[in-house]
Structure 1
Amino acid sequence: MKKEKSCGLILFDLQKDKTLVLVIDQKTHWGFPKGHVENNETEEQTAIREVWEETGIDAIPFATDQIRLVSNYIIYDNTPKEVVYFIGIPTHKNITKQEEEINDAKWVKTTEAYNILSYNEDKEHLTQCLKFLNKLKPFDVWKKYLK
């Protein structure tokens, strides 16, 4: 049976007084950057490539051995699809969107993202990421020293 698989990153920009997340308008809905696995790519390689292709942002997957978020559903032609997300840290925040695939991409406060994201499953993934990040002691230390 044919099955599709996509991978992406939920990118966070940690600032002293707020945490931002990258959301994209994928023409039919708002979500996180992701795309199809190509050839012999790993999930992480696919996620990095897709984020760069869609947004022009180089990113580093974070704690992939500790948090891996998965959605499974059936797409329009009854094909099963699996989507895998990891937390990502951007090396820069400048967005250069890929016009052919997305309408918009923007950094928003995490609280605002809940009103923008189209699917409840993406909102749940965001919640899981934030819970994971908030458990990390280095996360607290990191935020203290940000400007």
Structure 2
Amino acid sequence: MAKSLTQIQSQIEKLQKQVDAVRSAAIVRIRKEMAQHGLTADDLFGPASSTSTGSGRATKGKVKTKGDRPPKYADGSGNTWGGMGKRPAWIREALEAGRSLEEFLVGAAPKAAKAAKAAKPGRKPAAKKAAPAAAQKKVAAKRPARKKATDAAAASPAES
């Protein structure tokens, strides 16, 4: 025999009351234990200001977060980047403007400043010269000649 809607709803209400009773008993028991041992919520779960990972499971050791590692790159405006993941917009824009990634390395600012002072204004860095033709010929002579696919097919007898 099928239950009516009112019977199901009354059953839900009874079960909800049981849930509330079990829950409140657990809270009372936990508060009693905390008071007995002098514990606070911060002792159990850490400071309220810390962010949760959301899993609710205990972890082994300390969980590293974004703020645990120092930034690898920074600009003078307070923007920082740890060097992992997608490059932030401020780095991409600076690179497009002609700056180099090494200029933003944390702790490398003096090197970048020295390099900028050493470079003469208005002068482009010298381009690498191409290797002389004689050196290129020596390298080519040391390499074994490759057979073309058509040469290899012509050399082998055709099977019928």
TM-score (norm 1): 0.17
TM-score (norm 2): 0.16
Between Structure 1 and Structure 2, the one with more strand by share is 1
Structure showing greater Rg: 2
If asked which structure has higher relative contact order (CA below 8 Å, sep 6+), I would say 1
Between Structure 1 and Structure 2, the one with more helix by share is 2
